[in-house]
Amino acid sequence: MADNETLPDAPEYDNEAAGDVDYDDDEPLDLTRENNAKIIMLGSATDDDSCASFQFENEDHTLGNALRWIIMKNPKVEFCGYSIPHPSEPKMNMRIQTYGDITAKDALIQGLADLRDLCDVVTDTFVAEKERFVTEKKQAVA
């Protein structure tokens, strides 16, 4: 194999430029740290912004359905649905209509925050159960 022909020396890794801050080694591996999220608001039908459609880029049913569910859990939301307009375009559209107390964008922001909190609870519960399972197994062996 030709020695270092194909691989030049690595440049000094610039943590700030890569967008990571204080990465803790004990945290679970998270290789998607760069924020490449792209979202646009499609035309709104009402003046008070209570109804709107959003287009998520590079998202699919994974985020779409989970987000739809948690936004529908919001009592101020009248309707929420998502669709993938064309299977060969990596885009996901989401429609949100509220009763008018909040804007559709606020409902979306709230939904994302709720889903984030849900993930934390699932992580905590899983880690706790794993600990319990491991200690129980150790006791059974001893």
Partner 1 sequence: MAPTKEELERRRIVGVEAERVSNVTSTDFPGHYPGEDYAWDLERFRKSLKIQIHKANDLDYEFDLIGVDASVANAFRRILISEVPTLAIETVFVHNNTSIVQDEVLAQRLGLVPLRGDKKGFQQLRWLKKNPDEPAAEATDFNTVVMALKVTCTRNHATPATETDPEKLYFNSSVYARDIKFTPQGRQSEWFSGAGEIRPVNPDILLAKLRPGQEVDIEMHCVLGIGQDHAKFSPVATASYRLLPSIRIKQPITGEEAEKFVNCFPKGVAEVQTDKKTGQKKAVVVNPRKDTVSREVLRHDEFKGKVELGRVRDHFIFSVESTGMYNSDELFLQAVQILKKKCVDFHEKLLDS
Residues that bind partner 1 (CB under 8 A): 1, 4, 6-11, 13, 18, 23, 25, 28-39, 56, 59-63, 65-70, 72-75, 105, 108-109, 112-123, 125-127, 129-130, 133-134, 137
- Closest distance of CB 46 from partner 1, Å: 19
CA dist 94 → 59, 74, 127, 132 (Å): 11, 15, 33, 40
CA distance 97 to 81: 9
Strand partners, 91: 57
- Closest distance of CB 35 from partner 1, Å: 5
Question: Given the complex with partner 1, which of 48 and 137 has the nearer CB atom?
Answer: 137
CA distance 8 to 26: 31
- Closest distance of CB 59 from partner 1, Å: 7
